[in-house]
Amino acid sequence: MSQNEATIVLSRTSPDDIGVREIYVSIDGKEAGVLRPGDVITRAVPPGRHVVKATNTLFRRTRECDLAPGETAEFLGVNKAGGGSMVMSILMAVLGVGALKLEFDRIVAP
């Protein structure tokens, strides 16, 4: 990475992930890749504001970040069991998919 770039790291490494459905991720409207359990995707981006989106085709999440040159933003995607409303649970039962929710958040170092 050059000093004129920033980095966005997208991962699906949580032990809470149930391991079903891919998570499709994009940065600033451009496809960044597909996260399967255990995957990590790293992309160099110009400094500034970025919009990072994730979808498992059932749920979507959008996050924004402002990055300085040399800065790194890490995001963790997790497909978790449960969640959703009763209506969503019924629809998922009819579709043959268990109830799940997509979590996609920026990891902040302690």
pLDDT of amino acid 38: 97
Tens digits of per-residue pLDDT, 52-92? 999 999 899 999 999 999 999 999 999 998 765 566 556 55
Distances (CA, A) of 27 to 31, 33, 40, 76, 84: 7, 9, 15, 14, 26
Confidence of residue 108 (pLDDT cuts 50, 70, 90): confident
**For the whole model, what pTM was predicted?**
0.84
Average pLDDT (31-46) is 98
Among 86, 80, 85, smallest CA distance to 100 is for 80
The gap from C-alpha 103 to its chain's centroid, in whole angstroms, comes to 7
State how far the Cα of 26 lies from the Cα of 53, in Å rounded to an integer. Answer: 5
Distant-in-sequence, close-in-space partners of 61: CB < 8 Å, separation ≥ 6: 53, 54, 55, 102, 103, 104
Q: What would the CATH number be for the domain defined by 6-107?
A: 2.60.40
